[in-house]
Amino acid sequence: MPGPLRLEFVTSADRLDRLPPTRAEVAVVGRSNVGKSSLLNALANRTGLAHVSKTPGRTRLLNCFRLDEDGRDATLVDCPGYGYAKAPAQMRASWARMIEGYLLGRDELTTILVLVDGAVGPTPLDVQMVEWLDHHERPYDVVATKHDKVKASTRDRRKRDLAAGLDLDPREVTWVSAAKGVNVDRLRDLVRTRLAP
């Protein structure tokens, strides 16, 4: 099915065993400000979809969206942004435990979309996340954001550097722009493939 993902907010959970049962699940992670909300809205072509993940009380929860398309029993989970500098260390540690427990313990996960700011390149936290997923042999796909913020003449090099910083082949990175709609269709295809019945 082409076109926007038909995502509907279901619930927010503070631990993996409070998430609704599903057959297949895609998680979305990235540091704060990477462009995660903008991208979720672009995938669904709905301006307010990811708003729910930013409402007070939900920013530290696993926000769960059902993919409401025929034949699919699938969900997408928007994980709290990591590396939010203003949070006290103790709070950061408890988010990390929650997200780690989820990413390692959720058997239904078919991929973890790791968002990396394409205008900034991988930060040490992004590198840590990818190395950690590799170490635990968890499935993931790297998505670079903000394609429109990088000058056309430097994009090839930026993509090579971004991939190299994560020890990946550039072909393994999908570089999107939520603002301009670049490669949003490609990412929709990827999500649908990962959630295929």
Residues of this chain that bind ligand GDP (CB under 6 A): 30, 32-38, 81, 145-146, 148-149, 177-179
Residue with Cβ nearer ligand GDP (33 or 94): 33
Give me the least distance between CB of 82 and ligand GDP, in Å please.
10
Shortest distance in whole angstroms from residue 136 CB to ligand GDP: 23
Largest CA distance in the chain: 47
Q: Count CA atoms closer than 13 A to 45's CA, side-chain side.
A: 9
Contacting residues for 168 by C-beta, under 8 A, at least 6 apart? 130, 142
Residue closer to ligand GDP by CB (options 36, 106) is: 36
Q: What minimum distance in Å lies between the beta carbon of 171 and ligand GDP?
A: 21
The nearer residue to ligand GDP, 22 or 37, going by C-beta atoms, is: 37
Pairing of strands 140-145, 173-175: parallel
Closest to ligand GDP by CB, 32 vs 110, is: 32
The string of DSSP letters for 92-133 reads: HHHHHHHHHHHHHH-TTEEEEEEEEETTT---HHHHHHHHHH
In 3-state terms, what secondary structure has residue 121?
A: coil
The least CB distance from residue 70 to ligand GDP, in Å, is 29
